[in-house]
Structure 1
């Protein structure tokens, strides 16, 4: 019976390790995205915009993730605000 090192060539094992690392990193950034989305909603509320729909319109990845959200307000049909989040720090974009 063949063992794992004989079944998978060296490059295939490296590929599996890279894919698993990407999945783990992706799960972490998803959690950060959810946290920053909640922060973005609170910034919108402070700007007198009751959040209706939240949409990420721009993402920058790296050591300091940066996301710009477009938040549609319930107050008016065409009213929306843009909120930029760097990590968990969010501010209104003018």
Structure 2
């Protein structure tokens, strides 16, 4: 994955290409500084997905989903779910 690591100077020179790369491949790019001031460039859609996942985990919905995935009692009809209690 070292080919996805750029110095700030190289990232600046290739900025448009990096934007295209992270959007097309959904592969993050690391911008590594010699002063340990690193950053990661990702697509907006990947960032939104991360934010949504964090929200679902923090609100407890993720836990409910995992419990339902482990539930061997059978099919749960979507109409039987009390969405207000999730």
TM-score clears 0.5: no
Greater relative contact order structure (CA < 8 Å, 6+ sep): 1
As a proportion of its length, which structure holds more helix?
2
TM-score by length of 2: 0.33
As a proportion of its length, which structure holds more strand?
1
TM-score by length of 1: 0.32
